[in-house]
Structure 1
Amino acid sequence: MATRNSATVKDVVLAPGSGSFFYDDQAAIRAGTPHDGFLYIGAPLTPGFTRIRMPARSLGIGLVLSDDVVVWGDMMSVQYSGAGGRDPVFQVETIEELTRSVVIPRLRSADVSNFLVACNHVLAYHGGQRLPLAIEYGVSQALLRAAAHCARTTLAEVICSEFSLPLPERPIPIYAQSGDSREINVDKMILKSVDVLPHGLINSREKFGPSGETFRKFVKWVAKRTREIGMPGYHPVLHFDVYGWIGLEIGMQPEKIVDFIARVADDVPGYRLHIECPADFGSTEAQLNEYAKIVAFLDQRGIEARIVVDEQCNTLDDIHLFANAKAAHIIQIKMPDVGSIADTARAVLICKGNGVGSYVGGSCTETDLSARAAVNIAVATQADMILAKPGMGVDEGISIVGNEQSRLLSVLKYRRSQSSMRNVNAASK
């Protein structure tokens, strides 16, 4: 890694912005609120929501470094804020006030050339409480970019240096989510040969269907479509997020949930199947205990379906609990809910240490800036998959994440070639 130059923050600028999708009141949607075009009709149920669907917002934080370079991070929250144990919906005004009063004074006294030390200082508890996770997320992005600027390296190289990891060579499989435009977006994913697809947004009784028959029909259609229009040899992982609807419709008993998942797996033989959030048991403790049973039952029966946990597994502490208990085959590390991106790196390493799959996720409500930071974390830690984000249009997320990964791996390959050349030259002298 290049020599690290010390740097300080001489000023901070804030830039209100937009997220790439909308905040949705999950409780109201689960209750069966009807659609009116792109809107949902009815009153919101989750505190902080003024409507069931609200435009996502962001707040950019720019660190003006001592050499006048400005590095940025974006603060925001996820689509289903306030649900599944998550922070409340993002309020720009509240976040800005706390950033100005607490975070900016800390930034002015930080040496931002050292990423982890700077994170520990700037993101320390305030008044005995953790800062809002949106602040942690955006500020840590800016701090990582500051450290990379000081070292004249990529963000991934900073992570590798801080966590004593080798420079990576392998690309991370990209996972795309469809949103409500399921059929069209599935076709887009297949034509672009996405590694993992399609999410499916199975977030209502209508989409899941009586006894799950609508969902099963969709799963079979996706598998069939990959064979019909995919390139020769294309064989993606099939990943579906059912937002707890197996439990809601089939029953909350682990055995019943496993029986249903087994039937879905039988519908698509030869495909690796991921089922995200088969049920929401209402708390981290309950989710941990019941998911451990579901995983154990699947493994005992030799069913080739993988359970992915999302709801009720948010922070680094939660992820450590689930990984240690083998309460999921794969853990979604939902970056805005984890907080500091340093904790996302730690979360991937915890998953690896416990033999659990790591999925660097996030939300459609994020920004291009946060998505590019996510790629660097996922590649540096060699996660098992990464979400194509932000937005729900498929093309944009695949382009932003895919191109950032391609650029990053090309730079790292160049770094290795230059290092090898220097070693050869040194040996010949």
Structure 2
Amino acid sequence: MSELEIKRLALVEGIGGFWVNDQPAIQLGAPADGFFFKGPARSPGFNAIREPSVAYCIMLELADGQYAYGDCVTVLNLGYGGRPAPVLAQDLGKTQEVLRALFEGRRFEGFRAAAALLDSEPHQDILLRPIAFGMSQALLSAAALSARTTMARVLMREYGVQHYSLPGLAGSCGGNWKDNVDKAIARQISMFPQYAIQTREQCERLPEYVSWINARIDEIGGQGYTPDLHFDFHSSLGRMLDNNVDAICNYLSDVVSRAAGRQVYFEDPLYADTAPEAMERMAQLYEELERRGMSCRLVADEWVNAPGEAKRFAQARAAHVFQIKTPDNGSLTNTIDSIRICHEHGVLPYLGGSCNETDISVRASVHVGMAMNVWRMFTRPGLGFDEGLMVTTNEMRRTAARLEHEDAQS
């Protein structure tokens, strides 16, 4: 393990890869107005239903003159599912001051030792999860630069992992229900469309949409291509059907039948106001799906993404898959802990994130996914499909090539 020494730390304000939404306002019927929405915001911290995103870009100058980077960002839908309001911290200057006091001029024995400072109790009002997320990226990059290797190799060494993997990619097709599905099929993506279903109208349209997707795969997918289908309700189905488990199972059964044997994953179909409520409702739905012999799988996201929640959800058998959303987990060490909990409890670890991330944050997450052997990895940033697939794919392939070369030289 190589030491890393931080000479100087600086922050500059940047932008995220998309925008941020007041999700409850959209789900409760705010009408679209072009790219935006009409009506007042409902969630604390929002001045409008859709607002520009902000990123804090961290730069670490190392003792040997190299620079490491990390980006502090939030997810798209804020102020719901246990997430904070749409602020990164009190202000940029105060955040920089605290991070400088903790890290500037210090030497650390590897990534995990440096990241441990992000749990500093006196500064939790500043070291919010998006800030810890960005700072941990920069520390992981610094450890890799200091060791003259990849971030994935650093994690494998520090966590005792012997083999890395290339996870299947889960493509987000954004708001374009058809063109981006064609792109996903042409690129032979492992799982798609991961479209955020937010309204009653979208819930009602979904069964017919699945029939179209299934036919489109048969038409242009080529022989032997069998992708999984993934639909993210963001709790909108539960709102529409009043969390009635029988009605929800009937709806899901219709969708599954239209998928004609393809594996279907349903993310956060139920509405809840707290993590314990979400866990209980998902566990009930999980049990009913098993009782009916349905082949679909449940994905937990919004309420499972806080330190400590993954273990509780896993023990409750509340989902078959956890989408481990990196910005919501704070430090990458928390993301890694959640992945390991999935492996321990037989839950599929899906390394997710947000369209609002940046190229820097996504690249760091790719190394985490490879080193910790996740099942699927979400392509991002952005919602245009191509840009997120490009960033994720190219970083994964570059990293694999470097790791193979290192292994051949050792």
TM range (shorter): over 0.9
CA distance in 1, matches of 2:166, 2:2: 30
CA distance in 2, matches of 1:388, 1:148: 23
CA distance in 2, matches of 1:48, 1:309: 25
* Equivalent in the alignment of 2:92: 96
Aligned length: 410
CA distance in 1, matches of 2:126, 2:348: 27
Q: Any idea what the Cα deviations from partners look like across 1:109-138, whole Å, max 9, x if unmatched? A: 542441111111244222576821011000
Matched, 1:25 2:22: yes
Letter in 2 for 1:221: W
Matched, 1:343 2:337: no
Q: Is 1:167–1:412's contact at 8 Å kept on the other side of the alignment?
A: no
* Equivalent in the alignment of 1:56: 53
What does 1:129-278 align with in structure 2 at a 5 Å threshold?
Answer: 131-168=127-164, 170-209=165-204, 214-278=205-269
Q: Is 2:11–2:96's contact at 8 Å kept on the other side of the alignment?
A: no
Q: Is 2:198–2:234's contact at 8 Å kept on the other side of the alignment?
A: yes
C-alpha RMSD of matched pairs (Å): 1.6
Letter in 1 for 2:130: A
Shift in Å, 1:21: 0.7
Structure 1 167/152 Cα, relative in aligned 2: closer, same or farther at 3 Å? farther
Letter in 1 for 2:54: R
What does 1:29-108 align with in structure 2 at a 5 Å threshold?
Answer: 29-91=26-88, 94-108=90-104
- Tell me which moved more, 333-342 or 245-254: 245-254
- Tell me which moved more, 40-49 or 363-372: 40-49
Q: Is 1:107–1:122's contact at 8 Å kept on the other side of the alignment?
A: no
Q: Any idea what the Cα deviations from partners look like across 1:10-39, whole Å, max 9, x if unmatched? A: 111212111111101101101111112111
CA distance in 2, matches of 1:130, 1:288: 29
CA distance in 2, matches of 1:39, 1:242: 20
Structure 1 97/263 Cα, relative in aligned 2: closer, same or farther at 3 Å? same
Q: Any idea what the Cα deviations from partners look like across 1:146-200, whole Å, max 9, x if unmatched? A: 11111111001111111111131x3111111122111111111111111110012
CA distance in 2, matches of 1:110, 1:335: 26
Matched, 1:285 2:282: no
Structure 1 19/161 Cα, relative in aligned 2: closer, same or farther at 3 Å? same
User: Secondary structure of the residue that 1:82 maps to in structure 2?
Assistant: coil
Letter in 1 for 2:326: M
User: Secondary structure of the residue that 1:391 maps to in structure 2?
Assistant: coil
Q: 1:300 aligns with which of 282, 291, 295?
A: 291
* Equivalent in the alignment of 1:424: none
- Tell me which moved more, 151-160 or 8-17: 8-17
Shift in Å, 1:246: 2.0
Q: Is 2:214–2:258's contact at 8 Å kept on the other side of the alignment?
A: no
Structure 1 244/8 Cα, relative in aligned 2: closer, same or farther at 3 Å? same
Letter in 2 for 1:400: V
Q: Any idea what the Cα deviations from partners look like across 1:185-223, whole Å, max 9, x if unmatched? A: 1111111111110012211112112xxxx1111111111
Q: Is 1:14–1:62's contact at 8 Å kept on the other side of the alignment?
A: yes
Q: Any idea what the Cα deviations from partners look like across 1:64-112, whole Å, max 9, x if unmatched? A: 11112110000010100111110211357x2423422322111125424
Structure 1 9/127 Cα, relative in aligned 2: closer, same or farther at 3 Å? closer
Q: 2:383 aligns with which of 373, 392, 410?
A: 392
Q: Is 2:10–2:60's contact at 8 Å kept on the other side of the alignment?
A: yes
Q: Is 2:78–2:85's contact at 8 Å kept on the other side of the alignment?
A: yes
Q: Structure 1 unaligned runs (5+)?
A: 420-429
Letter in 2 for 1:81: L
CA distance in 2, matches of 1:13, 1:129: 19
* Equivalent in the alignment of 2:320: 329
CA distance in 2, matches of 1:226, 1:381: 31
Q: Any idea what the Cα deviations from partners look like across 1:284-338, whole Å, max 9, x if unmatched? A: 0011111111112212322110100112222130111111221110011110000
What does 1:399-410 align with in structure 2 at a 5 Å threshold?
Answer: 399-410=390-401
Q: 1:313 aligns with which of 304, 322, 326?
A: 304
Structure 1 123/289 Cα, relative in aligned 2: closer, same or farther at 3 Å? same
TM-score, scaled relative to structure 2: 0.96
* Equivalent in the alignment of 2:113: 117
TM-score, scaled relative to structure 1: 0.92
Shift in Å, 1:144: 0.4
